[in-house]
Chain A
Amino acid sequence: MPEVPEKLLLVENLEVRYGATQVLWGISFSVVKHAVTCIIGSNGAGKTTTLNAIAGVLPVKGGSIRLDGKPITALPSRERVKRHIALVPEGRQLWAGMSVEDNLLMGCYLPALRSRAHLNLSRVYDLFPRLKERRRQLAGTLSGGEQQMCAIGRGLMSEPQLLMLDEPSLGLAPILVEEIFGLIRDIARQGMTILLVGQNIHYTLQVSTYGYVMEVGKIALGGPSEMLLNHEHVRRAYLGIA
């Protein structure tokens, strides 16, 4: 009998609305431990909303989110950081006027993490030597790729068991896109559980093991990424291959 992969995150019938506009219409999916799961889809499909709802930044209207079997749907975002869920948001969302090091340190803001802040900092610097070189610089003066590294570094500072990456390659030059996805692969190889959202569908499916296709607030398709990469609908709608 094949081993059933253990699920870290289980999302069931999740519904989110902004005022009168419903954005998520009861989506269900799961994130497998120690693997990369991705959500792909076009602009406005609800991918970022999904991640924000899991991070607890957005109120949920219906459905449930479970982490390791325990419901976290009603917890404030701070409690979810405490349960080691980290979000690397779309557009990086750094503090432009703070130094790179202070940006990273803020990833360890929770009192439970502070004692290990400097240990985690040296780990992040090992992973991103370029951030160490620029640690005294203001984050706003970094290049796009370095800002993305800083945002990922901040996420790693909170010792995540689930790392959510929202459009990590957005607005980056092709060579940097390759570099960032290489880094994600490295982090995944160390056993991190990753939920990746991307518009760069080719790279996103290649780096992930499982994938879901999201269309106008619903999950249209799900399965192993390799299968999706060869799926006729995905090829036609997202990869431009007939």
Chain B
Amino acid sequence: MTAVEFINLLISALLLAGLYAAVAVGMTIIYGVMKIVNLAHAGFMMLGAYFNYELFEWLHLDPMAGALLSLPVFFVFGMGVHWLLVRWLPKSDQPTLSSLLLMFGFWLVLQNVGYLIWGNSDRAILTAHRRTLPLGPITIPTAGLVVFIAAVTCLAVLQFILHKSWFGRSVTALIQNPYAAQIVGVDHQKTSQLTFGLGTAFAGFAGALMAMLFSFNPDFGRPFLVRAFVIIVLGGLESVTGVAFGALILALIETFGILFIPAGYQPAISFGLLVVVLLVFPTGIAGLLKRKWRLA
């Protein structure tokens, strides 16, 4: 492998990592605050993709604007879903079967509504963004770069919100110690609803971004669910930084893995990684690091 090939692969891994982080972060904060494994995340991503598609088809809106618009729309949608369904789940410190089934069932509903509306043929958003940015021998896909920048910017904004706002501190407090959060008066229900809205906003946003890169159908999002699990296991639930870190590792392994195994086996990489990580260090890499500053 030449140096140029290596750099090109490195760049595509980096671009991929940004996208993966945007996918996983919504699941992470929802799991952290509510201990719900949100399987419907894939459904929200699918809706995000079609949302962007419809805006593009009917209003000829730039897909980048559509993706940004998906944030507030899906935030409200997520709050609605929480109000309608999620808040009735029993509270627990552990993921419960009922929450798993509810979110899985809701995903199936979303998927089938998708089939009803859009059928099962693949759609894509075709724009002028599909060029590459040549930098001598190194090429960067423009669409990929734009998506990467959008994803990373949103992650940075989220990081800022979590660290500098009262809402963000209450989210962190609930993730790290729900009992202590209750003692100082954090309203679990209200913070949960906002968090669910935020997580859904990120799912819709990630889906809308991906619609600029990939074709999609109502089953869209499924392969990214496993990847999100791997990223969460690798990076832990503590921070956006952890998610970015997990996303980077997965993207690097997936991208460079293609050199060694046939492309058709690529999805096996994330599955394999999940198994290996759970067997070798079940607390994740973040868990290993965390032991250093765990409270006595």
Contact = CB atoms under 8 A, between A and B. Distances in A.
B187 interface: yes
Contacts of A139: 295
Given A96-B294, A97-B176, A78 B169 contact: no
B126 interface: no
Interface string A139-151: 1110010010000
B293 A96 contact: yes
A114 B166 CA distance: 9
A94 interface: yes
Interface residues of B, number: 24
B173 A140 contact: no
Nearest to A114: B166
Interface string B162-175: 01001001101100
B179 interface: yes
A57 B166 contact: no
Nearest to B296: A144
A77 B183 contact: yes
A89 B180 contact: yes
B184 A94 contact: no
Given A92-B295, A141-B293, A98 B185 contact: no
A109 B179 contact: no
Contacts of B173: 95, 98, 106, 109
Contact of A138 (B169, B183, B187, B293): B293
B238 interface: yes
Contacts of A162: none
Contacts of B293: 96-97, 138, 140-141
Contacts of B182: 57, 77-78
Contacts of A93: 177, 179-180, 183
A77 B177 contact: no
A109 B180 contact: no
A33 interface: no
Nearest to B176: A95
A109 B176 contact: no
A105 B184 CA distance: 10
Contacts, number: 81
Contacts of A97: 172, 176, 238-239, 290, 293
A57 B182 CA distance: 7
Contacts of B177: 93-96
A192 interface: no
A87 interface: yes
A107 interface: yes
B180 A94 contact: yes
B288 to A, nearest CB: 15
B146 to A, nearest CB: 33
Interface string A107-120: 10110001000000
A81 B183 CA distance: 8
Contacts of A102: 163, 169, 172
A57 B169 contact: no
A171 B166 contact: no
B296 A81 contact: no
A89 B173 CA distance: 15
A107 B290 CA distance: 24
B185 A82 contact: yes
Nearest to B186: A109
A210 to B, nearest CB: 24
B235 to A, nearest CB: 14
A109 B295 contact: no
Contacts of A138: 293
Contacts of B172: 95, 97-98, 102
B184 to A, nearest CB: 5
A76 to B, nearest CB: 9
B184 A96 contact: no
Contact of B180 (A82, A95, A110, A147): A95
Considering the complex of A and B, which 7 residue pairs feature the smallest CB-CB distances, nearest first? A81-B185, A140-B293, A78-B185, A93-B180, A95-B176, A96-B295, A110-B185
16 contacts: A89-B179, A89-B183, A92-B295, A97-B238, A97-B293, A98-B172, A106-B170, A106-B173, A106-B180, A109-B166, A109-B170, A109-B173, A110-B184, A110-B185, A140-B294, A144-B296
Given A57-B182, A78-B186, A96-B294, 10 more contacts: A57-B183, A77-B185, A78-B185, A93-B180, A93-B183, A96-B293, A106-B181, A106-B186, A109-B173, A147-B295
